[in-house]
Structure 1
C-alpha cells in the first residue's frame, strides 16, 4: 500500500508542479505552459488547489467542512530550515533514502533528496508543535526512532459522547493510532490506522482502516497538520457513533496493518466511484 500511495503521490506531485506554484515555486519559471495555469491560482490564498475535477459539492462530504487549517494558519514550509531542527536533520535522510528505490524510478535523485528534506523539516516542526499543545489532546511516540513512523495517542474525544463513556468505563486512557508518512509527505497524505482499542462504527473499518476523505490523495492538502487531522478524526469517530468493541471474541482480535491497507484501498476505490457520503464535520 505504501508504495501504491507513494506512486499515486508521485504522480500527483508532478501534477502539482504545473498547477500549484506555491508548492514548487522554483519549477514554474521554467514552464511556459504552466504560467497560464498557475496565474489563475495565484489570486487564491487557499492552499487547497483541487485539480482533479472535484465538484463544489465536495464541501458537503466527509473531510472538508471543518477545514483543519482553522486550528492554525496553513503550514506551508518556509524554505529556510529551522535552527532547532538542524542537529537531528542528519538522522532523517538515511531513513528516507532506504525507501527511495521503490519510488525512485519516476523521480530524479535530486528531487528525491529534496522531498526527504521537506518531509523531515515539516515533521520535526509538527512534533515540536504537538509537544507544546496546552490541552494534551494527543501525544506522539516515534516507532523505532523513525521520524516517518508515529504512534499517536488520542487522549480526548467529545466528553458528551458514548465513546467517552466507553473509554471511562473500560479505563481506556487513549485511542492508539499509527501514522506512516510517505516520501513525498506533505504533498501526499499519511497512512493512518487505529491500533487499539478495537472500535466499531465511527468510520473505523476492518484492520483499523479509517474512512476519511482527507486521508486520500484527492482529499488531502499539504496544509493539513497531524494535529488538525487528529482533531478531524476525533470528531468523525463521535459523529459516526464509534464505540469500543466489548464482544469477548471480537475485541481480543487485534487489528492488522495488512488488513487495514487492503480495506483502505478498496474504500478509496468505492468512494471515488460513488462519491463520499460521510457527513460533514461541523465546527462544534
Structure 2
C-alpha cells in the first residue's frame, strides 16, 4: 500500500441495514480499492462502527460521503493514512515505557513523530532520550505549582501541535481541566489490570491480596482516575514468593508492550470510543 494514495474512513451511527453496502458502493463509484474493512454492530446498544482502509488515485468526493452520512445520520471521519501524528510523551522516573516507544519509533514500528518529552524529574533521571534528537522539557510539579505547571504543559502541547499525548509512566494525576482539553487524545499506562487496584502502588496492593496474575492497562485519560475507556490490556503470571519489587520488575515488560500496542492502534485509527468502552479493530 502506497501511503501517498491510502486513506482511512471511520463511520459510527445507529445499527441499520444497508450501511456497508452504501459506504463501500460510494468508494467503488469513486474508483477506490478497499484493502481492509472492519465493522462491528453493538446489538445491545444498537450502535454500528466501521473502519475502511482503501487506496484511490484521488480522494472520494466529500459531498458524496456527506450525503450517505446524512442518509444514515452517521458521524464520519476521513483521514489520509500517510499523515504521521505528532506525539508528546510524558514520563517520571521509570523510563522503560518511554525507551520502548522511542525504540519502536526508530525502527519504524510506530509511525509517529515525537515532538517532545516532558518529565517532572530532571533529565538525568530519564536516560532513554539521551541518544534521540527530541526536545526534553523538565516541568517539576508540586501541589502548590500544579496549575502553573499545567499551563506550561498546555502551552507546549499547543506550540508543538501535538496530536497525541502519551503518559508513559507519568506519575502525576492530570487535573480535570487538562483531562478535558486532551479528551480522546491522551493515553495512559496503568500498572494494573483495571478495574482492579486503581490509584497508587497497585503492585503493592496486588501482592497484599495474593493475586496470581498482574497486568497493565492502557486507556484514554478522563477526569475519573484510571476509569477512562480501555484500549489494551495484558497479564503476567506471578507466584506467592514474589515481593512487591519482583512484581515491579516483572510488570515492566507487560507495561511497555501494552502501551506500545495501544499507541499503535491509536496511530492507525483503529480505536473508536463507545461511551465508557472502546471498539478496537486489530491489524
TM-score normalized with structure 2 length? 0.27
- Rg comparison, structure with higher value: 2
When you count strand as a share of all residues, which structure comes out higher?
Answer: 2
TM-score normalized with structure 1 length? 0.27
